[in-house]
A = this chain, B = another copy of it.
């Protein structure tokens, strides 16, 4: 009896220890959805107050060229967010056969329309249209995506401008969670112009200027970084932001215990057991066993992107209103 009791206690104690150790080693899953929801509520409140103070209601026009189900879904999510925050919005759908000149004309009309305060062209555009020409055609003050070459230049120079929503959302997450970045090692995996490069700029630049950047030491890795070097750079990082589109790229052995891992990847993969498709990021599930903080996919960076788009739309509208009334 005594033996059995002792045995039970031992088992219980072991179980308790395991549970505790298991819990304390597991990463905190960053609730991007919840944080984004909080920001959207705040923005809604701010908008109410600014409309009450005499500012006009912002209006966002999204343009979709062709029929891409993913684009449709992304834009639908943005329209829902607009309604929730109180931003007036509409989606212009153009056929896949639209020429670049026709699309430029549509953008020009939106640029000139004083009622429209935000313009975004959902990417990708069909192959016969030059994406860069389109991004640069959007009026710099209405460019709520922050993809215009002038907004990119301003970000690079730590100037006030519009910052692409995804890297801005990642910055906001790090700040919300009080992740220390000053003088820490950060690795950005990927070198896209809409996410990775602005992210690297926001991570490394001087916090005392307009963009309130994060003062980290930053390493940019990409497709030509040898796998061994990628692993080494990542292992030294306090913050890893991965935006590549390769499921399972970042594995447990590549992450320093306690590091903050931000997964920007969105990959649609087929579950071989159920036959259904599901969304995964670029970070292997097991990384949760070593990271200090980690964003889930979905529900991590995605909702923050939409929330930051709303913030950009409000900011852009306010600036246009002030510009018109000061000139």
How many identical subunits does the complex contain? 2
Query: Which residues of A (159-185) have their CB < 8 Å from a CB of B?
Result: 159, 182-183, 185
**Chain B residues within 8 Å of A193, by CB:** 156-158
Say if the beta carbon of A105 comes within 8 Å of chain B.
no
Instruction: With a 10 A CB-CB cut-off, give which of A182, A215, A224 has the most chain B CB atoms.
Output: A224
> Which residue of B has the minimal Cβ distance to A193?
B157
**Chain B residues within 8 Å of A154, by CB:** 149, 153
Contact B149 A229 (CB under 8 A): no
Say if the beta carbon of A79 comes within 8 Å of chain B.
no
Contact B185 A229 (CB under 8 A): yes
Query: Which residues of A (236-254) have their CB < 8 Å from a CB of B?
Result: 236
**Chain B residues within 8 Å of A132, by CB:** 157, 159
**Chain B residues within 8 Å of A218, by CB:** 219-220
* A221 vs B159: C-alpha distance when bound (angstroms): 21
Contact B206 A217 (CB under 8 A): no
* A200 vs B188: C-alpha distance when bound (angstroms): 13
Say if the beta carbon of A233 comes within 8 Å of chain B.
yes
- Interface of A toward B, CB cutoff 8 Å: 132, 148-154, 156-159, 182-183, 185, 191, 193, 197, 200-201, 204-206, 215-222, 224-226, 229, 232-233, 236
Could you list some 19 contacts between A and B, CB below 8 A? A149-B154, A149-B159, A150-B153, A151-B153, A152-B152, A153-B153, A153-B156, A156-B197, A156-B201, A182-B224, A191-B205, A204-B222, A216-B224, A217-B220, A217-B224, A217-B225, A218-B220, A219-B219, A219-B233
